Chains A and B, each alone.
Chain A
């Protein structure tokens, strides 16, 4: 136990030497904790365990990847781990998934993008405005309303499917992209408002007050002061929402139906295995094609992800 304590002590000294004498006492408790955590995490044991967990977690995906390149007969007769004893890789599965259908795969891909982008942008835009109001504008019943919005998260989306669909039919927009944009926005808003509100609340009030003293109105405060600070939270929620919408089958199938005009990738993948499920060997290839876009989004935004999540949810 004495071994990890030595580097911790050393590290604590470093900021002190850099001379933040006034704030030193206030920050040191949090910093100490962070540094202790860093000391613990950087121990070789912890690294080893982390690597083992990472490998274990990745094995199924690796298996899926290997399977997607194996010929049909081998997929059906042996497991992917027998790759070395049954060599032979092929692109046939990908070929079949991409070009085997009577409808071009690209159509579904474009549909997915057309569904997903507005379904991410609309709820974030609305939630940002709502979160600002909940955080920085005093009005009567604010807390009650906020709790109500928060409580909406509890409602399972399944109970809303048929009533919503009936409304869409009444409005004459069923079977169009509008139903999906609206539904995904509706389902995302409670969590979006909650997360962004918590993040906004963490921004020191003095910052907002200073801007107000300088004569800034709500609009200016929102765009000039808060928005730049909110980037991690927005990015993390955008990833969340993107993955949810991209992978969604239920909402798309219920509201838009499976016609090729509107059906997203997930609908195609759900049907890959054929009427009687006999082409299931195509599923691994289909999965990898559908993973590509979320993977790019996740990897390019991931540095915001952890930061944004922690900031929004763990309110000190």
Chain B
């Protein structure tokens, strides 16, 4: 009797598994005609990829619902025109699972790697698994991306990865209405920004709000603060040396930069509007810290362009002064001509050199894809691809971010913590910056502790 039960269980399970696979197939079968009916796809630009009918490319990323839907939607023209199928898989455990898959030789065809540092360590650890970009991708990269972006996908002189999406972190969110009502002007230098903060503080209000709580990644918004300020007080060259560890993490110039950050984040007269004292920065969720701006409890918050997804539904992102309106200005440099820009993005990396994978890789680095992605996303997405049609961007903050990214007057630098070894960039840098706020640890002690945690290599 027992073995009977067991057998029937197994049969049931296998049956269910089959049913599921069938259901999965019919699902995707329904999807493509549905999507192509929404807009006729012009396949002319896709001729170069050839006929890929029956081929599948697996994509593994850290982008999950609801953003993953916009990703998969942007592949539809490629799928319709070439006949290839893109199997998308997003996971929040991406960073820990990808090396596991590579060790077990079950690598995805393509992965979107959000950190150049991670790409570097993958190339070092799995030299056979990571495939250098094919010629078509190299051509696209040099044609459509600035040199800085191409370099972040290059390891040891070889281009491995091309940028996918991009974000800009050097922004200060504010309320245009509050600025108009009080006659504040957008600061164009760091000193003006500090004067503005003092003016707001003198009027009896707390100018800044900030939050660095982000679950296991708590502390990352504070690392962005420091990186942004290092770019401003020490300059992009020192920034590169600092990120690549050719100068120690606790170099005097970095200590000075952290002190400058402290002038804002650890100044009880400047923070933490509507949320509490300095310590409350450590416990305030990063994605809710800005709620005080439309509510009128604080005036300024430094956050990336992607913060726009976190505003409540009744808040409008627009430059025009209006109730419940927010907008962002560029976090100014030391002088008005000094324009460093901190940002981030993902990089398309291939673990297979099959023709369909290379074709898809080329598609992702092409302006066709960037425009398609912009079309299906609505708002909250930009790319550093210079072939992107800015008129497709719908949110004013996206348009401004794109302008800054492609404006040669701005010196772009990639998020430093994403380039450092994981033990620092996703470890001690976060925790020490949290301690810096939460336990009022001194500037030197924090930077020295991070320097000590830098892995010897």
Interface residues of A, Cβ cutoff 8 Å to B:
73, 76, 100-102, 107, 110-111, 113-114, 117-118, 121-122, 125, 161-162, 165-166, 168-169, 174-177, 181, 223, 227, 253-254, 257-261, 267, 270-271, 273-278, 280
Contact with A along B62-79 (1 / 0, CB 8 A): 111111110010000000
A278 touches B309 (CB 8 A): yes
Within the complex, what minimum Cβ distance (angstroms) separates B388 from chain A? 21
Measured between alpha carbons, how far is A36 from B432 in the docked complex, in Å? 55
Residues of A within 8 A of B106 (CB): 165, 169, 174-175
Contact between chains at B9 and A117 (CB < 8 Å)? yes
Nearest-neighbour CB distance to chain B for A165, whole angstroms, equals 4
CB A105 to nearest CB in B, in angstroms, measures 11
The contact size tier of chain B is 35 or more
Supply 26 A–B pairs (Cβ within 8 Å), ascending by A: A76-B285, A101-B65, A102-B65, A102-B66, A118-B10, A125-B2, A162-B100, A166-B105, A168-B104, A169-B105, A169-B106, A176-B17, A177-B17, A223-B1, A254-B100, A257-B91, A258-B91, A273-B92, A274-B64, A274-B66, A275-B62, A275-B64, A275-B90, A277-B214, A278-B310, A280-B215
A259 adjacent to B104 (CB under 8 Å): no
Name the distance in Å between B304's Cβ and chain A's nearest Cβ.
10
B423 at the interface (CB under 8 A from A): no
B195: chain A residues at CB < 8 Å are: none
Check B20 for interface membership: any CB of A closer than 8 A: yes
Contacting B288 at CB < 8 Å: which of A76, A101, A107? A76
Chain B residues closer than 8 Å to A166, beta-carbon distance: 103-105
Cβ of B40 < 8 Å from any Cβ of A? no
Known A100-B66, A166-B104: A107·B20 in contact at CB below 8 Å: yes
B residues 305-345 with Cβ under 8 Å of A? 306, 309-310, 312
Docked Cα-Cα span, A45 to B279, in Å, equals 43
CB distance from A262 to the nearest CB of B (A): 8
Decide: B215 and A118 in contact? CB cutoff 8 A.
no
Do B93 and A270 touch across chains, with their CB atoms under 8 A apart? yes
B351 to chain A, nearest CB (A): 14
Taking the closest CB of chain A, its distance from the CB of B430, in whole angstroms, is 14
Query: Which A residues are in CB contact (< 8 Å) with B21?
Result: 261
Binding site for A on B (CB under 8 A): 1-3, 5-6, 9-10, 12-13, 16-17, 20-21, 23-24, 62-69, 72, 87, 89-93, 97, 100-101, 103-106, 214-215, 217, 285, 287-288, 306, 309-310, 312
Q: In the complex, what distance in Å separates the CA atom of A177 from the CA atom of B3?
A: 21
- In the complex, A117→B16 CA distance in Å? 11
Complex CA distance for A277 and B97, rounded to whole angstroms: 18
In the complex, A273→B64 CA distance in Å? Answer: 9
Report whether A161 and B312 are in contact in the complex, using a CB–CB cutoff of 8 Å: no
Whether A169 and B104, one on each chain, are in contact in the complex, defined by CB atoms closer than 8 angstroms, is yes
Taking the closest CB of chain B, its distance from the CB of A289, in whole angstroms, is 16
Complex interface: chain B residues within 8 A of A277 (CB) = 214-215, 217, 287
Residues of A within 8 A of B287 (CB): 276-278
B6 touches A125 (CB 8 A): yes
Contact of B64 among A114, A121, A271 (CB under 8 A): A271
Which of chain A's residues have a CB closer than 8 A to the CB of B91?
A: 253, 257-258, 267, 270-271
With A162-B104, A277-B214, A278-B287 as known contacts, state yes or no: A121 contacts B6, CB within 8 Å: yes
B-chain residues with CB within 8 Å of residue A176 when the two chains form the complex: 17
Known: A261-B24, A267-B91, A270-B92. A110 touches B100 (CB 8 A): no
Question: How far apart sit A101 and B69, CA to CA, in the bound complex (Å)?
Answer: 9
Q: What chain A residues lie within 8 Å of B63 (beta carbons)?
A: 275
**Interface pairs A-B: 4 shortest CB-CB:** A165-B104, A271-B64, A278-B287, A258-B91
Residue of A nearest to B94 (CB): A258
Contact A258 B90 (CB under 8 A): yes
Cβ-defined contact, A174 with B104, below 8 A: yes
Q: Give chain B residues whose Cβ lies under 8 Å from the Cβ of A259.
A: 87, 89
| B67 contact set on A, CB distance < 8 A | 274-275
Q: Is the CB of B90 within 8 A of A114?
A: no
Residues of A contacting B1 in the complex (Cβ-Cβ under 8 angstroms): 223
Bound complex: CA of A259 vs CA of B65, how far in Å?
13
- Select B103's contact among A76, A162, A257, A274, beta carbons within 8 Å: A162
Once A107-B23, A166-B105 are accepted as A-B contacts, the answer to whether A271 and B17 lie under 8 Å apart by CB is no
From B6, B72, B97, A253 is in contact (CB under 8 Å) with: B97
| Contact indicator A276/B23 (Cβ below 8 Å) | no
Determine the distance from Cα of A117 to Cα of B13 in the docked complex, in whole angstroms. Answer: 8
A212 to B159, CA, bound (A): 75
A304 to B24, CA, bound (A): 39
Residues in chain B near residue A118, CB distance under 8 A: 9-10, 13
A274-B64, A275-B68 known, 8 other contacts, Cβ within 8 Å: A122-B6, A165-B104, A166-B104, A169-B104, A175-B106, A177-B13, A259-B87, A270-B93
Measured between alpha carbons, how far is A275 from B288 in the docked complex, in Å?
Answer: 16
Chain A's closest residue to B91 (CB) is: A258
Closest chain A CB from B386 CB (angstroms) = 25
CB distance from B290 to the nearest CB of A (A): 12
B23 CB contacts on chain A under 8 angstroms: 107
Q: Is A117 in contact with B12, judged by CB distance below 8 angstroms?
A: yes
**A275 CB contacts on chain B under 8 angstroms:** 62-64, 67-68, 90, 92
CA distance A111 to B16 in the complex (A): 9
Provide the residues of chain A in CB contact with B97, threshold 8 Å: 253-254, 257
Q: Which of B13, B72, B103, B104 contacts A114 (CB 8 A)?
A: B13
Q: Which of A125, A261, A274 contacts B65 (CB 8 A)?
A: A274
Q: Which of A73, A117, A169, A257 contacts B89 (CB 8 A)?
A: A257
* B21 to A, closest residue via Cβ: A261
Tell me the nearest residue of chain B to A174, going by C-beta: B106
Q: Are B2 and A165 in contact (CB under 8 A)?
A: no
* Cβ–Cβ < 8 Å partners of B69 in chain A: 102
- Known interface pairs A117-B12, A253-B91, A271-B90. Does A261 touch B64 (Cβ–Cβ under 8 Å)? no
- Closest CB in chain A relative to B33 CB, distance in Å: 17
CB distance from A125 to the nearest CB of B (A): 5
Neighbouring A residues of B215 by C-beta, 8 Å: 277, 280
A161 to B297: give the CA distance in the assembly, Å.
50
B residues near A227, Cβ cutoff 8 Å: 2
Residues in A with CB closer than 8 Å to B105 are 166, 169
Rounded to whole angstroms, the CA-CA distance of A73 and B294 in the bound complex is: 14
Chain B hits for A162, CB < 8 A? 100, 103-104
Q: Which residues of B contact A114 (CB under 8 A)?
A: 13, 16-17, 20
CA distance A102 to B105 in the complex (A): 29
Asked if residues A271 and B10 are in contact (CB atoms below 8 Å), the reply is no
Which residues of the other chain, A, contact B16 by a CB distance below 8 angstroms?
A: 110, 113-114
Q: Report yes or no: A223 in contact with B9, Cβ–Cβ below 8 A.
A: no
B93: A residues at CB distance < 8 A: 253, 270
Residues of A within 8 A of B312 (CB): 73
Complex CA distance for A102 and B88, rounded to whole angstroms? 12
B310: chain A residues within 8 A (beta carbon): 278
